[in-house]
Amino acid sequence: MHRRTRRLLGLTAAGLAITLTVAACGGSNNKPTGETSSGQQPVRGGTLNMLGSGDVTYMDPNISYYTVDNQVNRLFSRGLFAYPAIPGKITSPAPDLVTDLPTTDNGGISSDGKTYTLKIRQGATWNTDPARQVTAQDAVRGLKRTCNPAQPFGGIPDFHDLIVGYAGFCDGFAKVDAKSASAMAKYLEDHQISGATATDDQTLVFKLTHPATYFVDMLTMDAFNPAPKEIDQYVPASAQQAQHTVSDGPYQVATYDPTKQIVLTRNPSWKADSDPIRKAYVDKVVINETVSQDSTQQQLQTGSADADMEFDNAPPPSQLPQLIAAKDPNLNLGITASSNPYIVFNMVSPNNSDALKNLKVRQAMEYALNRTDMIQVLGGPKVNPPLTNVLPPGIDGAKAFNPYGYDVNKAKQLLQEAGVSNLTLKFLYRNDSEGQQKVFQVAQQDMSKIGVKVVGVPSPKADFYNKYLTVPSVAQRGVWDMAIAGWGPDWYGNAALSYFAPLFYGKSAYPPVGSNFGFYNDAQTNKLITQAQSATSKDQALSLWQQADQRVMSQAPFFPITSALWPTYHASQVHNAVYLPYMQGIDPANVWLSKDKQGG
């Protein structure tokens, strides 16, 4: 899931990083979980050990798009803007590589709202030999790389038609040999995006097709991170490229053993006074990707010096009620403004004589699936408030409605009207996730009540997106009919676009460019999205997004379950454990370790 993001209207700053006190009984002092007001002095040094059971999708900020990627990118790659690890500000963009937030008053935004002028901060350097200043040209290169033909960025629908000249640039790039690094490098050098230019080494100018008050929020996405020219030697997403990262953050990738371990050490070219976002207290970060969900939780609770934080794991759902009841100070329940998890229906599956192309079949599935039971196996409604439509709370325009209540008889009736029977559906899920296993089991039981057989397609986390959901041929061959996925906004507040464009905007959102994994394509939905993103007023846009929400749900392309609070857990030796929604985890770039437990 993406995760990705701004202020949540209607939610307090305290509500954005809910501590156990809030979850259990209300009230908050707005301190990061595990911290007190004792004013302890941070301790520098030590090794931060993170435990997980999956891998990054790509070791490349311009094309990686999931929350687990954000955790690693945060350490070695810097963005134009970023979310600070400051309670109350964790969803507000702050300058990272640029010097100031642009406004019309400071000349950063033109009077018509369509031109943004940014200045790159001096002193930010790449760990090249010799170290080299990050430039505006590097920022343009990063944006160009997002639509490379080998592996494009999955969130392109967010800005494909917003930045002047981007669509045309990408149309040409798609024709370049996707296996040739030199051919791609030549295209990057010879072709320009007219709406993304470097007027000098320090000045970056974006020109938009229409005003977009959320543009600065959008620029927090890692896709906009500058890229050094050295990266053009490698095919994006290739194994070779993953072994040749270049860093402008406080850490550099020392070793990367895919699906096993990532080791990051201090970047000698990084200057603390050039980075307002990352304190970088620890000397080294070791990410162990071979630890199960249960084992991660056990090790973090026992206080081992070599187990500090989660990577992609979370506390097992079955243990959450006990942790909440105990008011464990190391547990954090963070707001996500997400739809996570949800079940997507594969509308191009040839299985069962193309049954999932039939609206009545999909609507029958909506009525047959028991959301209440799924929420219970995920840890209960306190952690998983129900979500019955597209937009979750925290996104402007969100308005809850439930078009499909649990109704077995209605589901049977719709299947009969559709003229189908004896269906067998393949259900893709992550077999190393307790929650996903249990949701699959509930769905299997629910569908059996209407005469539909559901068989599992288990996948390890490392393969789930790369080998299944983002590969169109896998869906088209009918390898899966239903799949568990999750989504978080690319920014917060005025962010409905970051739901509808990547997930439901027809062909333009098909994977791998988008995340429309079920290949939903509806002319009326597409028209509403087009109208909403170019609306001349916010009120008009919100009305259109609400209409789009109603239309999508009427077509039943997916089954929303919950806009969950995201549980994270850390060991007692971890301090300044600030939860960041965009990575759905504790910020590893700003924690520090107790002096007596410095890892190893």
CATH number at residue 136: 3.40.190.10
C-beta separation of 85 from 79 below 8 A: no
Cα of 117 vs its chain's centroid, Å: 27
47, β-bridge pairs = 284
Among residues 536, 182, 481, 492, which one has the least CA distance to residue 349?
A: 481
Shared domain for 316 and 359, answered yes or no, is no
Percent of the chain whose predicted confidence (pLDDT) is above 70: 93
Shared domain for 547 and 575, answered yes or no, is no
Q: Torsions phi, psi of 263, nearest 5?
A: -120, 125
Shared domain for 79 and 200, answered yes or no, is yes
Confidence check: pLDDT of 26 > 70: no
| Predicted pLDDT of residue 284 | 98
Q: At what angle do helices 181-190 and 166-173 cross, to 10 degrees?
A: 150
Q: Is the peptide bond before 130 cis (omega within 30 degrees of 0)?
A: yes
Shared domain for 206 and 316, answered yes or no, is yes
Task: Return the minimum-mean-pLDDT range out of 30-39, 272-281, 486-495.
Answer: 30-39
Shared domain for 345 and 311, answered yes or no, is no
| Predicted pLDDT of residue 39 | 62
Confidence check: pLDDT of 380 > 80: yes
Residue 545 identity (one-letter amino acid): W
Shared domain for 166 and 235, answered yes or no, is yes
The helix/strand/coil state of 482 is strand
| Predicted pLDDT of residue 480 | 98
Confidence check: pLDDT of 207 > 90: yes
Question: How many CB atoms lie under 10 A from the CB of residue 31?
Answer: 15
Domain that residue 490 falls in: 339-560
C-beta separation of 331 from 20 below 8 A: yes
Q: Which comes out higher in pLDDT, residue 154 or 548?
A: 548
Shared domain for 160 and 232, answered yes or no, is yes
The set of residues, in sequence order, having a beta carbon less than 8 Å from that of 444 and lying 6+ positions away, is 427, 454, 456
For range 162-186, the mean pLDDT: 98
Distances (CA, A) of 17 to 26, 31, 231, 337, 586: 13, 9, 36, 12, 10
Confidence check: pLDDT of 12 > 70: no
Mind listing the pLDDT tens digit for each residue in 516-536?
999 999 999 999 999 998 888
The helix/strand/coil state of 409 is helix
Shared domain for 324 and 371, answered yes or no, is no
Shared domain for 459 and 586, answered yes or no, is no
Mind listing the pLDDT tens digit for each residue in 52-77?
999 999 999 999 998 999 999 999 99
The set of residues, in sequence order, having a beta carbon less than 8 Å from that of 332 and lying 6+ positions away, is 17, 18, 19, 20, 32, 33, 34, 567, 568, 569, 577, 579, 586
Percent of the chain whose predicted confidence (pLDDT) is above 90: 88
For range 575-596, the mean pLDDT: 96
Shared domain for 270 and 413, answered yes or no, is no
Mind listing the pLDDT tens digit for each residue in 219-274?
999 999 999 999 999 999 999 999 999 999 999 999 999 999 999 999 999 999 99
| Predicted pLDDT of residue 30 | 30
The CATH number of the domain where 520 resides is what? 3.10.105.10
Q: How many domains does the chain have?
A: 2
Structure-token pair, residue 270: 């990084």
Shared domain for 515 and 394, answered yes or no, is yes
The whole-chain average pLDDT of the chain stands at 92
| Predicted pLDDT of residue 14 | 31
Structure-token pair, residue 513: 């460019």
Shared domain for 494 and 599, answered yes or no, is no
Mind listing the pLDDT tens digit for each residue in 497-521?
999 999 999 999 999 989 999 999 9
pTM (two decimals)? 0.84
